[in-house]
């Protein structure tokens, strides 16, 4: 969206800054009437446009996820990858899975990329990663069905923060987190865009984004974006549809006090299937050969996934003076899902007949999340302190009624997708209430070019679950202190070496015994810790940023099952070691560049194997160049390569499952039609294709030899799409 309007790319914090606001005032029509002579005004306008362009170029080199404030990446002592709106538009991403594919340390598409797209599933440095939207956690459900998925059309940017971050965010993963930022009102009087997309597998999308001033002075501003989209999946007889609208209003203009109210309603009447294919017949050859990539293991008359998600968010900011400010934000989410599916059991009854099961659940969650903080700057002698003190709170009320049962087996050569499915039996029926409260503080100390950062936090977590089927209750009430310390030195020629240590925690469900089952207690949280060191280099005066980092992560207190006793020991240790390199530039001499390489080793000491679905690393390169002049002016073209090293898929009957490495290629092209004719100003066209050469590959597997279940997931097939848009 808004590909040709530079204001759209400026983050709100920069739009509200005095420099940008002053520049906007200087270029306003009212100012020019009573201002200097015309030539001088032209010079001022040129200087103004240059200033704004510099701010836009800084966008990809700024991040707020690591410190909860806009900080240049070159001064951030932790690995952060920024994926801008422009990059998402160039690659025509349709979901978060596709957005993060070019990030170092990612094991992408755990459900295949073309299947199971209803959730955003990938691993970061070997661990699953939670998602935060506008600084607030998108809480998962206790059993994982009523989980939010944010449509990427309403996002302004994505930040991937790598490594433990509980010192600022509370319960989180040792691998890191993904921070999403919504589109909200800008300082433009009137703007908008409409984009229509069509493509393979009957893809259709219409995305609209409109905003501007409600009052003449811009004290009240609005923005509304929405989408209607749908597509068949690459499996036979399955597809998805979505309707989403996100209105927002900002009160306060460019003053010291602003309030933004952001709403969202998203309805997914259907969302494909969540099934896969058996390992034998996909990764490993079956007696009959291999199953086709469009093989569907379910039943189209029984299949259903319906999700309704409504939310409302407020963001309040107040600047007391140049040094001190207060901000608070909160969100309420209501997520309701109905899920029904028939899926294969991961094994064959005979040479060509699959065992299958049926599942059905109705889950409903109500989530509240708040975060408030004071920020200020003080000086103690030669030291400049940027301090932050915060409090956050999360609450969830969730309920689920679930059913499970057998389903008729399926002949893979003559599949029948409209069988009579026996009514599943009651499986789960629970009510869960949970709360988390945390207080935290952070101090960034600047002394010349040295930056030292310390963060500390204490969390209190409470959970109460009632099992209405078995009339039992489970309670958790752990508390945890987490912290982070880092140091970075920024040389004036652009180099910045750094080192950091950070910790994380995650509550666990399970019973623990240390005396052979005589006494049993609730499991304590697992704890993560990371030591990371690296180098960053930003070419002075440009957005070209190079980063290299090495890391060692340990997750302790992991639950290890003790035979078939029903209880565990907290003796598990998982460690992840690796190296990552990334290069980013946007824009840099009309070039958008993303390059990444990662090598990692993830090991679970309790099994002697890696974590299931963790990969050994990845590499990627994406470049997109726009012609600045000549007959092809405005034509942008580029492409990319994504490589994933082999990943561990669990244990099968024949031994360890290793998913082979694979590499796929993508391509994109865009053209600004105003270069053909002034009458086409604002019009643009584009096209993209993922998996350009239609490589047939397995993206990941889930194999459990002890249960006789072995599943795999085909990667996304070639998927081409084209779009036409108009913006103003």
Residue 304 inside a domain? The answer is no
Please give the C-alpha separations between residue 65 and each of 82, 181, 329, 466, in angstroms, as whole numbers. 10, 10, 15, 35
> What's residue 241's pLDDT?
95
> What's residue 31's pLDDT?
34
Please give the C-alpha separations between residue 255 and each of 23, 288, 376, 505, in angstroms, as whole numbers. 15, 70, 18, 39
- Residue 647 pLDDT greater than 90, yes or no: yes
> What's residue 366's pLDDT?
97
Determine the Cα–Cα distance for residues 532 and 168; give it in Å rounded to an integer: 17
Residue 455 inside a domain? The answer is yes
> What's residue 524's pLDDT?
84
Determine the Cα–Cα distance for residues 401 and 56; give it in Å rounded to an integer: 49
- pLDDT band with cut points at 50, 70 and 90 for residue 155: very high
> What's residue 74's pLDDT?
96
> What's residue 588's pLDDT?
86
Residue 369 inside a domain? The answer is yes
The average pLDDT across 518-538 equals 90
3-state secondary structure of 652: strand
φ, ψ of residue 263 in degrees (nearest 5) = -115, 160
The average pLDDT across 651-676 equals 95
Q: What percent of the chain has pLDDT over 70?
A: 91
> What's residue 144's pLDDT?
83
- Residue 242 pLDDT greater than 80, yes or no: yes
DSSP letter (8 states) at residue 680? G
> What's residue 474's pLDDT?
86
> What's residue 587's pLDDT?
82
- Residue 553 pLDDT greater than 70, yes or no: yes
> What's residue 57's pLDDT?
39
Residue 622 inside a domain? The answer is yes
- Residue 32 pLDDT greater than 80, yes or no: no
pLDDT digit string (tens) for 258-269? 999 999 999 999
The average pLDDT across 271-287 equals 91
- Residue 14 pLDDT greater than 60, yes or no: no
The average pLDDT across 345-354 equals 91
Average pLDDT, the chain: 89
Q: Which helix (H) or strand (E) holds 44?
A: helix 38-58
Give the relative orientation of helices 18-26 and 38-58 as an angle to the nearest 10 degrees.
150
> What's residue 54's pLDDT?
34
The average pLDDT across 150-164 equals 96
Residue 451 inside a domain? The answer is yes
> What's residue 563's pLDDT?
64
Q: Give the structural domain span for 525.
A: 6-299+309-323+331-727
Residue 354 inside a domain? The answer is yes
pTM exceeding 0.85: yes
Residue 1 inside a domain? The answer is no
- Specify the number of domains making up the chain: 1
Residue 500 inside a domain? The answer is yes
The answer to whether 475 touches 464, Cβ cutoff 8 Å, is: yes
- pLDDT band with cut points at 50, 70 and 90 for residue 55: very low
Lowest mean pLDDT among 40-44, 179-183, 355-359, 700-704: 40-44
With vertex at residue 103, the alpha carbon angle to CA 100 and CA 104, rounded to the nearest 5 degrees, is: 145
- Residue 59 pLDDT greater than 80, yes or no: no
> What's residue 3's pLDDT?
36
- Residue 214 pLDDT greater than 60, yes or no: yes
The average pLDDT across 276-290 equals 93
- Residue 601 pLDDT greater than 50, yes or no: yes
pLDDT digit string (tens) for 73-110? 999 999 999 999 999 999 999 999 999 999 999 999 99
> What's residue 704's pLDDT?
87
DSSP letter (8 states) at residue 420? P
> What's residue 564's pLDDT?
63
> What's residue 425's pLDDT?
95
DSSP letter (8 states) at residue 141? P
For residue 494, give the CATH number of its domain. 2.40.170.20
> What's residue 521's pLDDT?
77
Q: Which two tokens stand for residue 60?
A: 């990809």
For residue 242, which of 303, 307, 304 has the smallest C-alpha distance?
307
pLDDT digit string (tens) for 456-507? 999 999 999 999 998 888 888 889 999 999 999 999 999 999 999 999 999 8
- Residue 24 pLDDT greater than 70, yes or no: no
- Residue 217 pLDDT greater than 50, yes or no: yes
């Amino acid at each position: 969206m808004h590909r040709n309007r530079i204001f759209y790319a400026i983050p709100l914090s920069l739009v509200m800054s005095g420099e940008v606001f002053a520049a906007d005032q200087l270029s306003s029509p009212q100012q020019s009437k009573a201002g200097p002579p015309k030539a001088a005004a032209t010079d001022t306008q040129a200087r103004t446009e240059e200033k704004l362009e510099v701010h836009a170029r800084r966008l990809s080199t700024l991040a707020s996820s690591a410190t909860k404030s806009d900080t240049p990446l070159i001064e951030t002592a932790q690995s952060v990858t920024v994926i801008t709106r422009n990059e998402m538009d160039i690659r025509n991403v349709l979901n978060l899975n596709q957005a993060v594919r070019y990030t170092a340390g990612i094991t992408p598409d755990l459900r295949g990329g073309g299947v199971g797209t209803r959730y955003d599933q990938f691993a970061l440095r070997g661990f699953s990663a939670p998602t935060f939207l506008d600084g607030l956690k998108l809480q998962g459900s206790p059993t994982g069905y009523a989980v939010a998925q944010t449509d990427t059309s309403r996002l302004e940017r994505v930040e991937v923060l790598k490594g433990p971050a509980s010192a600022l965010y509370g319960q989180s993963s040792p691998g890191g987190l993904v921070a999403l930022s919504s589109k909200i009102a800008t300082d433009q009087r009137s703007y908008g865009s409409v984009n229509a997309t069509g493509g393979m597998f009957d893809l259709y999308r219409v995305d609209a984004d409109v905003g501007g001033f409600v009052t003449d002075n811009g004290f009240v501003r609005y923005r509304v974006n929405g989408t209607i989209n749908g597509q068949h999946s690459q499996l036979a007889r399955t597809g998805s549809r979505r309707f989403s609208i996100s209105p927002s209003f900002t009160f306060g203009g460019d003053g010291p006090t602003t309030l933004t109210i952001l709403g969202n309603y998203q309805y997914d009447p259907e969302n494909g299937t969540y099934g896969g294919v058996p390992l034998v017949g996909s990764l490993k050859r079956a007696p009959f050969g291999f199953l086709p990539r469009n093989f569907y293991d379910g039943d189209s008359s029984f299949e259903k996934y319906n999700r309704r998600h409504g939310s409302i968010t407020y963001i309040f900011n107040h600047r007391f003076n140049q040094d001190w400010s207060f901000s608070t934000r909160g969100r309420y989410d209501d997520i309701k899902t109905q899920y029904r599916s028939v899926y294969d059991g991961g094994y064959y009854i005979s040479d060509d007949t699959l065992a299958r099961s049926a599942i059905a659940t109705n889950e409903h969650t109500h989530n509240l999340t708040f975060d408030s903080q004071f920020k200020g700057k003080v000086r103690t002698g030669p030291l400049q302190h940027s301090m932050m003190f915060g409090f956050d709170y999360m609450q969830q009320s969730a309920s689920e009624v679930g059913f499970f049962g057998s389903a008729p087996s399926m002949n893979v050569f003559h599949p029948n997708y409209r069988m009579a499915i026996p009514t599943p039996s009651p499986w789960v029926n629970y009510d869960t209430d949970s709360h988390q409260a945390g207080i935290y503080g952070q101090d960034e100390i600047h002394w010349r070019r040295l930056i030292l950062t310390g963060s500390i936090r204490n969390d209190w977590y409470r959970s109460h679950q009632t099992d209405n089927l078995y009339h039992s209750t489970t309670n958790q009430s752990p508390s945890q202190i987490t912290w982070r310390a880092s140091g970075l030195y920024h040389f004036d020629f652009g180099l910045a070496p750094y080192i950091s240590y950070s910790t994380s925690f995650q509550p666990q469900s399970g019973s623990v015994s240390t005396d052979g089952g005589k006494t049993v207690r609730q499991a304590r949280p697992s704890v993560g810790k990371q030591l990371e060191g690296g180098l960053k280099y930003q070419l002075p005066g440009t957005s070209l940023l190079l980063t290299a980092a090495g890391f060692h992560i340990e997750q302790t207190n992991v639950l290890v099952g003790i035979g078939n006793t029903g209880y565990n020991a907290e003796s598990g240790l998982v460690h992840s070691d690796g190296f990552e390199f990334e290069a980013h530039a946007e824009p840099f001499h009309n070039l958008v560049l993303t390059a990444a390489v990662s090598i990692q080793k993830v090991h679970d000491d309790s099994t002697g194997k890696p974590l299931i679905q963790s990969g050994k690393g990845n590499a990627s390169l994406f470049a997109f160049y726009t012609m600045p002049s000549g007959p092809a002016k405005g034509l942008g073209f580029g492409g990319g390569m994504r490589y994933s090293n082999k990943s561990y898929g669990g244990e099968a009957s024949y031994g360890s499952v290793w998913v082979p490495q694979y590499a796929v290629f993508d391509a994109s092209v865009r053209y600004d039609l105003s270069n053909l004719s002034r009458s086409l100003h604002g019009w643009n066209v584009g096209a993209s294709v993922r998996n350009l050469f239609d490589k047939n590959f397995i993206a990941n597997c889930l194999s459990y030899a002890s249960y006789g279940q072995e599943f795999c997931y085909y990667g996304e097939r070639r998927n081409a799409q084209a779009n036409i848009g108009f913006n103003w």
